[in-house]
Amino acid sequence: MSGLAIFTGVEVMFYWLGVLSLACVQGLVWLRWKLQSSWISLVVLAAGMGTMLFAAAWAISSILEKEPQSASMSMMVIMLPGLVLATLGGRLAWK
Amino acid sequence: MKGFEENTSATEPMLGRRSLLKLGMAGTAAALASAVPVPASASANVRDDGFGVVFHDDFPQDISPDYKRFDQSQTMFNRHAREGVPYYKAIWDDSRPGFSGSDYAMNKASATLYHRKQGIPDYSMDTVYVPNELSLPTPYKFPDAATAHAQIKRVARHFGANVVGITRRDERWDYSHVLKPNSVSETLPWDEAYPDFKPKTVVVLGWEMEYEALATAPSQIADATAFNAYSGLTYVTMHLARYFNYMGYKAVPAVNGTGLNVPYAMAAGLGESNRMGMLQNYHYGTRLRVARVYTDLELDEYYDKPVTFGIESFCANCLHCADNCPSKSISRDDRPSMYTAEDVKDKPYINPGVRKWHLDGEKCHAYWIESGTSCGTCLATCPYNKPNFWHHRLIDRVNTVLPGPLHKLMAEMDLWHGYGNMFDEKAPAVFWDPKGRSYNGLMKDY
Ligand code: SF4
Ligand code: SF4
């Protein structure tokens, strides 16, 4: 959409991250509802997914800003811990 | 109401519910119609960054074969001027929104530079601007101090200031002696230099330097953004001073003359002092140039208060500016210090008596001469100097609450993320890149 000279790159990014966030929330609700996953596992999974979304936002913003080193650092420093948390939470939740 | 015909009330058309419904349906139809892509014809290119914009090889209006160039003397304004028809007389009426004395003064002041060519006398900095025959006959009284703050700040932003603070005049921050015009040695005591002017209020203004330009420091490009900021501030201060004049008050515009910018900016709540002894603004960091307008308008209350947001702690844990300074002019002390007269007896260009980090201006200037630039490396390398992105604003806010030791980590992280590299030969290419930083996605030329 930014290519259409309507929305800024950051606006488009946050729109899609909003869509992804909603999908994550729906996933959590589904896990609790259908699989009766424990609250603790859902908290860990939510923290992991939230951290990954934050890392994605940071990385995309850094690329828009033409700072690729910042984008790679966000992948290592934020995305990886988020992935670990999400994997752990997912395994606990998926009974 | 002054010089304006009575009974010119404008009645606004009212929209009924039925009309609103029709309007809504028409809007929906228009939106659907405009969403249909416009096909590109053989003779026109549709822009790749915005649908519906068409390039033409030729001028897009019909031109008659008889078309002749136009004579400037035949323009409507010039014809009217010859016929003695006045341009128009601006009016004020405090009971009418958009016509208050403040609105009138802003309008008149906005023509300051434009009307210079029409015989209005030349202006300069550091001189007293006085009301003239077009000023309000009695000085304008704002309804209250809060409105005065809001309107003065709005006018300053209208003239281009990025940040504005308002504070009382504080003689401690004015030079004891000011230079006579065109002299570097002859001075006059402040009160003698401005004998009929007793300022009560100082408006402090900040103008942002461009991030990409400053990132090239030290270079001609970085200097360009610094001087552009000073020119911008010259514009803002001149126009704001005239705004006060048209409201009936005297004013002095000052960029670097008459007094000290940093303490006035701190008093007006625009930021904290950093390791370089300069202003660290909460939004622009080091990337800000500052100026002032003094006026004899006195407010009942002054709302802008000095602020701190953890800069002293951050600077204590971060030495990026000192590490990158090519002339080693920036203090590496752990904490700010209070110099005495004895400490600065060989450095009369440092004013002791305030606890701060002191910069050695003479060493710094020696590097300016050596490099053929005004350097600015320290400003550019600071972790608080960032482009306007949400994640930098977030980090700035987080830094205000983090405890001291974590500031060291944050300063290191800034380097690991690739920021603060100075003497970067690739930086000018980023500045000159026609697409620029693409964060707004709207950077194509129109
Ligand atoms: S402008 Fe350059 S030389 Fe002067 S203090 Fe800053 S980094 Fe050092
Ligand atoms: S570079 Fe670091 S030490 Fe220097 S002013 Fe900026 S935050 Fe403070």
- The interface predicted TM-score of the complex, written ipTM, equals 0.92
Q: Ligand 2 within 6 A of B221 CB?
A: no
Burial grade of B117 (CB within 10 A; 0-12, 13-18, 19 or more):
exposed
Mean pLDDT score across all residues of chain A: 93
- Nearest residue of B to residue A74, measured between CA atoms: B417
Average pLDDT over residues B31-50: 44
Q: Give me the residue from A61, A70, A73 closest to B390, CB to CB.
A: A61
With cut-offs at 50, 70 and 90, classify the pLDDT of residue B434: confident
Q: How far is Cα B440 from Cα A6, in angstroms, rounded to an integer? A: 10
Task: Report whether residue B149 contacts ligand 2, using a CB cutoff of 6 Å.
Answer: no
Q: Is B99 in the pocket of ligand 2 (CB under 6 A)?
A: no
Residue in the block written with tokens 């407010």: B299
Q: Which residues partner with B272 through β-bridges?
A: B280
d(CA B283, CA B365): 27
Max Cα–Cα distance, chain A, nearest Å: 47
Structure tokens at B97: 């929104």
CA distance B353 to B331: 17
In a domain, B104, yes or no: yes
**For testing contact with chain A, the best of B34, B391, B395 (most A CBs within 10 A):** B391
Could you report the per-residue pLDDT of B44-57, keeping only the tens digit for each?
A: 444 455 667 788 89
3-state secondary structure of B300: coil
Of B408 and B47, more confident? B408
Q: What angle do CA B11, B16, B19 make, to 5 degrees?
A: 110
Q: What pLDDT is stored for residue B49 in this prediction? A: 53
Q: How confident is the model at residue B3 (pLDDT cuts 50, 70, 90)?
A: very low
- State the pLDDT at residue B438: 58
Look at residue B12 and tell me if it is in a domain: no
CB-CB neighbours of B194 under 10 Å: 20
Report the C-alpha gap between B24 and B28 in whole angstroms.
6
Residue B40: how many other CB atoms lie within 10 Å: 12
H or E element that contains B55: strand B54-55
Nearest CA-CA partner of B364 in B327, B319, B320: B327
Give the residues across from B178 on adjacent strands. B188
| Beta carbons of A65 and B439 less than 8 angstroms apart | yes
Residue A8 has its nearest CB partner, among B391, B418, B439, at B439
Q: How many domains does chain B have?
A: 1
Query: Quick check: B223 and B376 in contact, CB under 8 A?
Result: yes
In the structure, what pLDDT confidence band is assigned to residue B446 with cuts at 50, 70 and 90?
A: very low
**Which tens digits make up the pLDDT trace of A34-77?**
999 999 999 999 999 999 999 999 999 998 888 999 999 999 99
At residue B16, the pLDDT reads 52
Work out the average pLDDT over B254-278. 97
CB of B271 closer than 6 angstroms to any ligand 2 atom: no
Q: How many whole angstroms separate alpha carbon B119 and alpha carbon B205?
A: 28
As to burial, measured by CB atoms within 10 angstroms (0-12 exposed, 13-18 middle, 19+ buried), residue B376 is buried
CB contact under 8 A, A67 and B419: yes
Angle, helices B404-416/B390-401, rounded to nearest 10 degrees: 160
pLDDT: which is higher, A3 or B142 = B142
Q: What domain range is B401 assigned to?
A: 43-432
- Among the residue ranges B52-61, B281-290, B292-301, the one predicted with the least confidence is B52-61
Residue ranges of domains in chain A: 8-93
Closest-CA residue to B396 (of B261, B290, B287): B287
In three-state secondary structure terms, B163 is: strand
Share of chain B above pLDDT 70, in %: 84
The answer to whether B374 and B223 are in contact (CB under 8 A) is yes
**pLDDT tens across B153-178, in order?**
999 999 999 999 999 999 999 999 99
Q: Is residue B18 a part of any domain in this protein? A: no
